[in-house]
Structure 1
Amino acid sequence: MEQLRGTGVALVTPFKADESIDWNALEKLINYVIEGGVDYVVTLGTTGETPTLSSEEKLDLIKFTFEKVAKRVPVVVGMGDYNTKDVVKRLESTPILAEAAAILSVAPYYSKPTQEGIYQHYKAIAKASPKPVILYNVPGRTGRNMTAETTLRLAHEVENIAAMKEASGDMLQCMQILRDKPKDFIVVSGDDALALAQLACGMDGVISVAANYFAADFSAMVNAALNNDFPGARILNNKMMQGFDYMFCENNPAGIKAFLAHKGLMENYFRLPVVPASDNLYQQIGAYLSKY
């Protein structure tokens, strides 16, 4: 799992005006982030608007990502849901997952299960998965925090759970996990704005939204921090900080797609219920990028 150290990027899914997937734009984005220096890519994350994708489209996206990445970097595949049986079924019936480095599985959302329910959900997924599982705690989206105690229980007790993307925003919880985790358990940040502080606490990297746009600078910041060059990392982080705020102040992925549209990497289209960034925010992003 050392290949998950550094910068991973949670790829957006570009759409055309008719809401079909823009495959040409996705290929451009994949090449852009890899050439920018990211260490691996993540397909079918929340940033990819996966709740609006059909099962067929999800499989097509996995295949396309493997094809266009062409083994230049590892690929992590998102595979999460609040229906445990459905996740298990997809893990067991998607043979192309053999090419993945790992599976990223978000904690069950909407149902708001107890900590025991979260534990049993992940235990079943880990048993079914052909690849190591990355836990993903993002209570702002799921409605339920996965506590440090539950995370550590899974890390110590369930063999096929190898890493975690921690996006609770709770620094004390992050430090508790880092202090008590198994030695070979990888912990990465899921909060771009907190990533530098979390790397300083001992995290192994970041699965980033911002790296869709800031591929080179974000990767350089993470690498500097992992090499204990925190003065250098701070310079890069300070340069991007206002960008982080713009990316997430209304909605993800509306913010990052506005950045990518300004760069000409894709058009600014979405599937409902996500809508584009407001005109005011779009103009602010443009003004910020003109000076970046």
Structure 2
Amino acid sequence: MLKLDETALRGSIPPLITPFRDGAVDEAAYAGLVEFQVENGSHGILVNGTTSEPSSLTLAERNRLVDVALEAAAGRIQVVAATGSQSYAETAELTRHAAGRPGVDALLIVTPYYSRPPQRGILEYYRALNELHDKPWMIYHIPGRAAVDVKVETVKEIDAACPTFVGMKHASLDLAFVSDVLAEVDEDLRIFVGLEELSFPMMAVGACGLMNAAGNLNPKPLAEMCEAVWAGDLFAARALHRRLFEINKAIFWDVNPIPMKYMMKRLGILPRNEHRLPLVPASPDLEKRLDAVLERAGMV
């Protein structure tokens, strides 16, 4: 495992949504979202994560979003680029592009989805990708979408085989997995929480930060939660977690980022609530439910 400075690659690093305008990526709006994260205290941004609708983006669009993010961030905030896809060739192209950008702090590479590879295939996939670059990189572990789990033993093998491996984004309800990986692989492994409802619990057992979609909507409390955990103030962190809990659940009342984009538009963070097929905007009934959540949270 590549050893990082203890202050590097941790904290609240929200996966930014992709704004569209008449079917095209709205680069100006995207740069505005980066600025919003900087102004509200996030510790970093994740480009091209699941929340960005990456499967509806072309490779050129994904690469361009990395460049737009770097230009907007201007070194003021950590930038993590998600470079995985269902295809090794596509992942290699995305990885080479992001790894070649000096301002990218780390890569996040999802387990290849749909193919449901065996554990030895996952190991060889990441070993081959690691040979393409020298950036710190993490596994994006999201079995609910990828339909494959990465076993603890496989993480150990990846750690031994890949010199710049540094951690994982863990988007699973398996809380024990975090303790197992930290104990079996390395206590300094960077584990980011990928499911909002486990933000505080997972940090309490050793996760280093959050990569939560909710950070698109209200970044500051997520950054404050991380900082409270680092300071040892678990009561304050728990209070923030509870305050955010209804919004965290509401994000998944429909497929992410459908509820998120509606709420961002409702709050004026996003100029348009536009998706690419097969995703579509929130239904009128869902809009009413989300409005009520925002009202109870005191956000409208």
TM-score of the aligned structures, taking structure 1 as reference length: 0.95
After superposing on structure 2, the runs of 4+ consecutive aligned residues of structure 1 that deviate more than 6 Å are none
Distance 1:59 1:92, change over 3 A: closer
What CA distance in whole angstroms lies between the structure 2 residues aligned with 1:87 and 1:232? 40
1:268 aligns with 2:269: no
1:145-198 residue CA offsets vs partner (Å, 9 max, x unmatched): 111221222123321111211112211222211222224321111111101000
State the distance in 2 between where 1:248 and 1:167 align: 13
CA distance in 1, matches of 2:92, 2:239: 44
Change beyond 3 A, Cα 1:94–1:194? closer
CA contact (8 A) 2:199 2:241 kept: no
Supply the distance in 2 between the matched residues of 1:226 and 1:97 (Cα, whole angstroms).
Answer: 30
- Which residue of structure 2 aligns with residue 178 of structure 1? 182
- 2:218 is aligned with 1:208: no
Read off the aligned partner of 1:285 and give its amino acid letter: L
- Greater fraction of residues in helix: 1
Q: Retained in 2: the 8 A contact 1:44–1:77?
A: yes
Confirm or deny that 1:230 pairs with 2:211: no
1:96 Cα deviation (Å)? 4.3
1:64 matched to 2:68: yes
Secondary structure in structure 1 of the residue aligned to 2:140: strand
Pairs aligned (count): 291
- Aligned equivalents of 2:28 and 2:113: distance in 1? 32
Instruction: Give the match for residue 278 of structure 1.
Output: 283
Partner of 1:24: 28
Q: Secondary structure at the match of 2:114?
A: coil
Among 74, 77, 88, the alignment partner of 1:73 is 77
CA distance in 2, matches of 1:158, 1:46: 24
Map residues 123-142 of structure 1 onto 2, 5 A cutoff.
Answer: 123-142=127-146
| Unaligned ranges ≥5, structure 1 | none
**From 48, 52, 56, the counterpart of 2:52:** 48
- How far residue 12 of structure 1 moved from its aligned partner, in angstroms, is 0.5
Partner of 2:253: 249
Which residue in the other structure is 1:97 paired with?
Answer: 101
CA distance in 2, matches of 1:88, 1:13: 22
> Which position in structure 2 is the counterpart of 1:13?
18
User: In structure 2, which of residues 5, 9, 15 is the aligned counterpart of residue 4 of structure 1?
Assistant: 9
- Partners of 2:90 and 2:220 lie apart in 1 by 37
- 1:291 equivalent to 2:291? Answer no
Does the Cα contact within 8 Å between 1:11 and 1:45 map onto a contact in 2?
yes
Offset of residue 94 of structure 1: 5.6
TM-score by length of 2: 0.92
Of all paired residues, the percent bearing the same amino acid is 29
Return the alpha-carbon distance in structure 1 between the equivalents of residues 99 and 44 of structure 2: 21
Task: Supply the AA of the counterpart residue of 1:276.
Answer: P
Please tell me the residue identity of whatever aligns with 2:296.
Answer: K
What is the one-letter code of the residue matched to 1:114? P
In the alignment, structure 1 residue 217 sits paired with structure 2 residue 221: yes
CA RMSD of aligned residues (A): 1.6
Contact 1:155 1:182 in 2 (8 A): no
- Residue 144 of structure 1: how far off its partner (Å): 0.7
| C-alpha contact 2:84 2:94 (8 A) present in aligned 1 | no
CA-to-aligned-CA distance 1:201-227 (integer Å, 9 cap, x gap):
111111111111120111111211222
1:162 aligns with 2:166: yes
- SS of the residue 2:25 aligns to: coil
